[in-house]
Structure 1
């Protein structure tokens, strides 16, 4: 870890040495990572002075410094977000700050994935990691929303989330997306404060804790939890439909039950036709004949009833 930190510091220093424009002697002491309101205002004036002359160089130096702070969870990220709002305005600074936070946290994620297994041999750290693993598994269906809420909440610290995530089965893509979306609300507050940095006289003018910021973060949390609520609602509806279908399939088969029997229908009495009587000679010839005998039917006889005998004939049939 010490070697990685020293190498990263050298890369940061080399990038600033190559990308930064040539500064005047009076401006060089102002170039530092801001840790107070006075240093922040001094760096703001320095960047605005060289922003119009060397726009791309200033962006490269800003991004490299931001990634360094996030990769090693060093203080100063909030001041850089405020500084971005002062230098580039809220829209561009917001996108830049969220991208830098997500990418820098991903670097911390990779460092933890490479060197973290050595800490897992310590029983104390292993027990804490198992506790977090259980919480993550419980929120497996709502993983992105759960990580976004962790980013918005003040506890646990963000560096804890960066270090723990690679060891509890969270992929790098969901981690980056949740970090970008989770830091969005806070970055809006910081960049908005930075847009009025020139008119401020002290850090008390930041107004980080205010009703406006509270409602803004609350709106972000509600927006994140809406998909969770919809997923829970539809999941419950689908489960109820599945229970109904399962209950229908489990019903035993029952035989049809006859409730009542009505009178039998009365049909017309059919008189069978007399059988054809064959003589002994005809029957012998019929049995010796191998060909089929085709009986041809004659024309049908239609019996017409008159009104007088219709009732008598119907009575005879019944």
Structure 2
């Protein structure tokens, strides 16, 4: 990995120069890397199986990620029967499932956030989602630190090049930039989780920006889960007003860095004059 002061293109792997077609024509991971991923995947699967066998008889048709609001309502009604008597197992199952999905870039975490609001209310549900989302993002970060570079170059070569340049330009206020990305839907969270270690975002910056940046969207989603009966479609979660509000919050989070940069430039001009 190149040093922070180098240009964005220099931080990319040398095989980028061979073109995207050459990269996409082969599997991006080696046999050893695939084995490593399989072991981690197996550990998550065994943990979920252990939680499953400690529960009473469960109808297997409910063991899937809902694709519609109606399926989510049905799942919520079913799981809520076990929440009081088997709350530790339900919490453990929720946490492991959410972290597992985040680690391996499996879609559906928004549905899990809605489920948390439906089952546990706003306060407990939001705390649970923030914890699991941050833990899952961290798990994905460290997994990507080991094997993510070839996968990211295989999936998002152009977007990774852009992200590399943007991070290199914003080293002086990287936390504010990462916080802005987390609050706003500028870049997908999955992409940020995988590519942050590749472009040199320190873990502490990644961790705190993730924890704080996910708060607004988490509140919106969990609150919608509490009022699940009034929700007609997942598309209603992030309408124009909600997305606009997230961008406003994002710009507020990055404003101190922008102001500091302008003040520094004014100070440099006054000293040179």
Place the TM-score, normalised by the shorter chain, in its bin: 0.7 to 0.9
Structure-2 residue corresponding to 1:182: 213
Task: Note if contact 2:184-2:243 (Cα within 8 Å) is conserved in structure 1.
Answer: no
Offset of residue 237 of structure 1: 4.7
Considering only aligned residues, what root-mean-square deviation do their CA atoms show, in Å?
2.8
Give the corresponding residue for 2:176: 145
Q: Deviations over 1:106-164 (max 9, x none)?
A: 22221221113556998x94x86555332211111121121122234434322222222
Q: Which residue of 1 aligns with 2:84?
A: 52
Q: How does 1:4-15 map to 2 (within 5 A)?
A: 4-15=36-47
- C-alpha distance in 2 between matches for 1:98 and 1:75: 17
Aligned to 2:252: 223
Larger mean Cα displacement after TM superposition, 109-118 or 53-62: 109-118
1:73-84 equivalent positions in 2, closer than 5 A: 73-84=105-116
- Residue 230 of structure 2: aligned partner: 200
TM-score w.r.t. length of structure 1: 0.66
CA distance in 2, matches of 1:92, 1:221: 25
> 3-state SS of the aligned residue for 1:90?
helix
Distance 1:201 1:166, change over 3 A: closer
Q: Distance in 1 between matches of 2:61 and 2:160?
A: 43
Give 1:88 deviation, angstroms: 0.9
Q: 1:32 to 1:8 in 2, by over 3 A?
A: farther
Q: Which has the higher helix share?
A: 2
Matched, 1:70 2:102: yes
Give the counterpart of 1:31 among 42, 48, 63: 63
Equivalent residue, structure 2, for 1:160: 191
Secondary structure of the structure 2 residue equivalent to 1:141: helix
Distance in 1 of aligned mates of 2:152 and 2:111: 34
User: Are 1:108 and 2:140 an aligned pair?
Assistant: yes
- Between the aligned partners of 2:252 and 2:38, the Cα distance in structure 1 is 41
5+ residue gaps, structure 1: 248-318
Show the counterpart of 1:134.
Answer: 165
Please tell me whether residue 173 in structure 1 is matched to residue 230 in structure 2.
no
Q: RCO (CA 8 Å, sep 6+): is it higher in 1 or 2?
A: 2
Check the 8 A contact 1:70/1:108 in 2, yes or no.
yes
Once the two structures are overlaid, the 10-residue window that deviates more, 2-11 or 138-147, is: 2-11
Q: Which has the larger radius of gyration?
A: 1
Distance 1:121 1:49 in 2: 45
Does the aligned pair in 2 maintain the 1:32–1:43 contact within 8 Å? no
Q: Deviations over 1:198-238 (max 9, x none)?
A: x236326x622435423531342133023223323442454
SS at match of 1:169: coil
Structure 1 residues 64, 142: closer, same or farther in 2, change over 3 A? same
Aligned-partner Cα distance in 1 for 2:151–2:87:
43
Query: CA separation of 1:214/1:119 partners in 2, compared to 1, >3 Å: closer, same or farther?
Result: closer
For 1:156 and 1:78, the matched residues in 2 are separated by 16
CA change 1:119–1:35 in 2 (3 A) is closer
Aligned to 1:22: 55
